[in-house]
Amino acid sequence: MSSIKKFVSDTVIYGFTTIVSRMLGFLMTPIYLDKFKNAGVYGVYSNFYAWVSILNALLAFGMETTFFRYLQKVEEKDKRKVYNNSFVVTLLTSSLLLLTVFLFTRPLATWFADGDPIDDYVKYIKYFALILVADALAVVPFAMLRAHGRPIRYSYLKFINIFITVFANLFFIVFLPSWVHTSPFWARFAEGWFIEGWLGYVFISNLLASSVTLLLLLPEILTFRLRIDKALMTSMLRYSFPILVANISFIINENLDKMFFPKLLPGDQGKIELGIYGAVAKIAVFLNLFVTAFRLGAEPFFFSYAKQEDAPRTYARIMEYFVLLMVLVMVGMTVNLDWLKYFIKGNEADPGVYWSGLKVVPVILFNYVLLGIYMNLSVWYKLTDQTQYGLYISGIGALLTIVLNVLLIPRYSYVGAVASTSIVYLVMVGLSAFWGQKYYPIPYRFLKIGSYLVGGLAVSLVSFFVFDSNFWIGNFLLLALCIIILFAERKFIRTFLVKKGK
C-alpha cells in the first residue's frame, strides 16, 4: 500500500502543474472560439498543434524515458554522463530542425496554406520552429529536476509558463482589441502592427512563455557539458531509438487525423469540420489530463520500483485503480455534456456551430481511457529493455491509422477519425497485453478491468444517445455506477481505511 501511496504522491506533484496548464488551455478555448472569425480559423489552430506534437517527440528523441532508465542502470559516478549525453542529443536535434525550417520556410508555408495566402503561414511556421526548439531544450533540465526530487522548482517554472501563456493570450486577444477602441494611448501603441482577431497572437504567446521558461532553466542548463561518452551514448541511442519511433508512431495514431484532415477533406468545409472536431475534443481534455499526470508520475516510479519483489503485483493494482478512476471520470463528463457544451460555444453569429460534434465526445473519452491503459501496459518493454516491441506495436498502430483515416475521413469526416482511433487503440492494447504477459508477466485481472470498461461505456452511450444527455437521468446512472463499484471494491476500501487508521 505504501508503494501505491508513493506513486500517487509523485503523480500529484508532477501532474498538478500539467493539469492546471491544460485546464487553463481548456478555459481559453471559449475565448478563441468567440474571437476567431469562424470555425475554419480554429481548424488551422488544431492542425498546427497536431504537427507540434509529433515534432516535439522527434526533437526529444525518446531522451526523457532513456534518461530515467539509465539513471537506474549506471553507477553514481556516471550519472553526470547520462545528463550530458541526453542534453547533447536534444541540442543536436533542435539545431537541425531550426536550420531545416528556416531554409524551407516558404515551401512549408505553401503546403500548409493549401491555397490560402501564405504570408501568415510563413510567420506561423517560424514561431513554431522557435517554440519547438525552446521546449525541446527544456526536456532534459525538467527531467533532471524530477530525478533530483525538486518538485517546488519544477512546479514554479511550470506555473510561470502557464501565467505568461494566459496573460499574453488575454492581452493580445481580449484586452488590447478593447483598449484600442477606447484609449488613444493604446490606439497609438497598436497602430501599424496590431491585427484584431489574428491567430498568430496565440502562437506568439506560446513562444514568449517557452522562451522565458528556457531562460529560467539556465542554472540547470549551465551544469551540462558538451561532452559525449561514446560507449554510453551508443547504448542510450540503441535504447532510445525504438522509443523515438514508437513515440512518433503513437502520436501519429493520436494526431494524424488532425494533421492531414485538410488534405483528406480539402477546402473551407474541411477546415470548418476540423475546427468542430478540435473544439469538441477540448471537452475531453479533463480525462487527458489524468492520463498525462499518470505518465509523469508512473515512468520514474515504475523504473525505481522495478527491483522490488512485489513490483508486478503493485503494477497490477495501479492498473485497476487507474481504470476505475478513468471510467468514473469518463461517465461523469458524458452525463454532464448538456452544460459542458457551453465551454465550446461559438461567436454571437453562430453560437451552436461546434455543438454538432458533441456526438463523438463519449467515444473520444473512451479512447483516452484506452490510451491510459496502453501506457500502463507499456511498462513491460521499458523495464526489460525490449523497446523494439514498443516500436512494433506503435508501428502497426500507425500503419492502421493511416489506412483507416484515408478510408474513413473523406467519407465520414471527424466521426471516421474518432472511429479510427478507437480501433487502433484497441489493437495496440491487445498487442501490448499479449506480448507483455509473455515476456514480463503482470497479474492483471483483465476480466475485472474489461467489465469496468464495458459497463462505463454502456452507461455513457445510453445517457447520450438514449436519454439525450438529460442531466438528471445521466447523473442518476452515474450514482448507480458508483454504488455498484463501491460494493464491488468494498474489501479494498475497508483494507485501505484500516491501514490508514493505523
pLDDT at residue 1, as a whole number: 46
Name residue, grid cell 551514448. 233
pLDDT at residue 227, as a whole number: 82
- The runs of H, that is alpha helices, within 104-175 are 105-113, 119-147, 151-170
Integer Cα distance of 102 and 106 in angstroms: 9
pLDDT tens-digit map of 424-456:
999 999 999 999 998 888 899 999 999 999 999
Integer Cα distance of 138 and 91 in angstroms: 10
Cβ–Cβ < 8 Å for 271, 39? yes
Let me know the angle formed at the C-alpha of 63 by 57 and 68, rounded to the nearest 5 degrees.
Answer: 130
Residue type, 56: N
Task: Classify 37 as helix, strand or coil.
Answer: coil
Integer Cα distance of 418 and 499 in angstroms: 43
Q: What is the pLDDT along the chain (502 residues), one digit of tens a residue?
A: 455 555 556 566 666 666 676 666 667 777 777 777 666 777 778 778 778 877 877 777 777 778 888 887 777 777 888 888 888 888 998 899 889 988 999 998 888 887 677 888 899 999 989 999 999 899 889 888 877 777 778 888 988 998 898 899 999 988 998 899 888 999 999 888 888 888 889 999 999 999 999 999 999 998 888 888 888 888 888 888 877 777 777 677 777 787 778 778 877 777 788 888 888 888 887 777 777 777 766 666 777 777 777 888 888 888 888 899 899 999 999 999 888 888 787 666 666 778 888 999 999 999 999 988 988 888 888 788 787 888 788 889 888 988 999 999 998 888 999 999 999 999 999 999 999 998 888 899 999 999 999 999 999 999 999 998 888 999 999 999 999 888 887 776 666 555 554 4
Half-sphere exposure of 440 (CA within 13 A, CB side): 21
CA distances (Å), origin 488, targets 329, 458, 498: 18, 18, 18
Look up residue 395 and give its three cell numbers. Answer: 508501428
Name residue, grid cell 516491441. 389
Look up residue 278 and give its three cell numbers. Answer: 478540435
Integer Cα distance of 429 and 376 in angstroms: 10
Integer Cα distance of 45 and 25 in angstroms: 13
Name residue, grid cell 471537452. 283
Which residues fall within 8 angstroms of residue 109, CB to CB, at 6 or more apart? 118, 121, 122, 124, 125
pLDDT tens-digit map of 91-135:
998 899 889 988 999 998 888 887 677 888 899 999 989 999 999
Using CB atoms within 10 A of its CB, is residue 373 exposed (0-12), middle (13-18) or buried (19+)?
buried
End-to-end CA distance of the chain: 13
Which residues fall within 8 angstroms of residue 286, CB to CB, at 6 or more apart? 23, 26, 329, 333
Number of H helices, E strands in the chain: 22, 0
Which residues fall within 8 angstroms of residue 328, CB to CB, at 6 or more apart? 456, 478, 481, 482, 485
If we measure between CA atoms, which residue out of 350, 320, 303, 274 comes closest to residue 112?
Answer: 274
Which residues fall within 8 angstroms of residue 159, CB to CB, at 6 or more apart? 17, 20
Integer Cα distance of 159 and 396 in angstroms: 37
Look up residue 233 and give its three cell numbers. Answer: 551514448
Integer Cα distance of 480 and 486 in angstroms: 10
Look up residue 276 and give its three cell numbers. Answer: 468542430
Task: Report domain extents, the chain.
Answer: 2-501
Cβ–Cβ < 8 Å for 107, 261? no
Integer Cα distance of 55 and 341 in angstroms: 31
